[in-house]
Amino acid sequence: MAANSRPISASMLFPLTRPGSPADRSVCPITLEPIRDPVTVEDGHTYEREAIVKWVLQSNGTSPMTRQPLDVRRLLSNSTIQYLGAASLPSVRSNRVAPLYPTNSSDEPTTLMHRRKWYKSSCCRCVCCITCIVAVVMIIVLAVVLTRQDFSVQDQCSIVNETTLLYLTTDYSTKFAYYCFIYQAAKNFSTLSFEFRNDPSYWYLDDVSVKDASELIVNGGFELGALTGWTLTRSGNSVLSGRISSLYAHTGIYSFRDGVTGASERLSQTFSTRTNVSYIIGFWLQCPWGTQNLYANITIT
């Protein structure tokens, strides 16, 4: 009987499954548990890496299946067996990620619901990311446009070295036109004045501005509905006719209208300045129509 005996292997002692089945290939012959880290050795069988290394080192260095000599330095990873083990034993708990698709019909509704939720949350995150990107791009574009506008306005400004900024008689604009000047202050206080005469029509003034780092003019757009911050004076015996008007406005609701007959009126405002500092002076002015004795004189002193 001893002559007919053969070596006893782990598969003979513990026949777990039908030979050749997926479960058989995905179960370690040594531990009889699903293989987590499969390796194939020289005997052609697949084992759990930790188990076969321990077996070879603690035994006589032979295969548990065929008893042929093994070298632990020649272990080959077997990802195919790892996949078969996960697919054929879905009920075994592990720290691996669950399969994407359901493994049986009873899991299908739950899995589909989870996938729909995942798709929905992913779409929401994508929409939020796209919205944020679009918002950032719009802000950058707006900042660039505003910066270019500021440069273009400043490029249009005339540099003045005298008190008279503008004097108009016949070359006036019937629609609001923008006038801009760069003025270097020579004292600590400056006065910007607008002197108007128009027989018998009107001048319209709006959005007056004097800037360095901040705005120095008070109520430059006349949106307070009154001449707050401004001083209106007359020349000669004329009756004051300058007032706040809502008939024409460059921006907002109100502008300043003046059309005194027989003399002129002066609208002015005094503000603090610094010596040898340059200021940008800007305003919008129009004269819808005019006939005679018509002029606008804008000065800074």
Q: What is the pLDDT of residues 4-14, one digit of tens each?
A: 545 545 444 44
Residue 193 DSSP code: E
Half-sphere exposure of 94 (CA within 13 A, CB side): 17
User: Average pLDDT, stretch 268-287?
Assistant: 93
Q: Beta 203-211 vs 255-258: how paired, if at all? A: antiparallel
- Report pLDDT digits (tens) over 174-224: 899 999 999 999 889 999 999 988 877 888 999 999 998 899 999 999 999
Identify which has the larger pLDDT, 262 or 53.
53
How far from each other are the two terminal CA atoms of the chain, in whole angstroms?
129
Report whether 195 contacts 298 (CB < 8 A): yes
Q: Residue 75's pLDDT is what?
A: 84
User: How confident is the model over 56-107, as pLDDT tens digits?
Assistant: 888 778 888 888 888 878 888 876 665 555 555 444 444 444 444 444 444 4
Average predicted confidence (pLDDT) for the chain = 78
Question: CB of 196 within 8 A of CB of 227?
Answer: no
> Backbone phi, then psi, for 62, in 5-degree steps?
-115, 165
Map residue 23 onto helix, strand or coil: helix
* Phi, psi torsion values for 162, nearest 5 degrees: -135, 175
Kindly report the number of other CB atoms within 10 A of residue 149's CB atom.
10
Q: Return d(Cα 38, Cα 53) in angstroms, integer.
A: 12
Q: Report DSSP state, residue 279.
A: E
Tokens 């500092």 correspond to what residue? Answer: 277
Longest CA pairwise span in the chain (Å): 146
For 106-161, the pLDDT digits (tens) are 444 555 566 666 666 777 777 888 988 999 998 998 776 665 544 444 457 888 77
pLDDT score at 177: 92
pLDDT (0 to 100) of residue 172: 82
Kindly state the helix (H) or strand (E) to which residue 295 belongs, with its residue range: strand 292-300
Instruction: Give the 3-state DSSP-derived string for 213-248, with helices as H, strands as E and coil as C.
Output: CCECCCCCCCCCCCCCCCEEEECCCCCCCCEEECCC
pLDDT at residue 115, rounded to an integer: 65
Nearest to 46 by CA among 21, 17, 77: 77
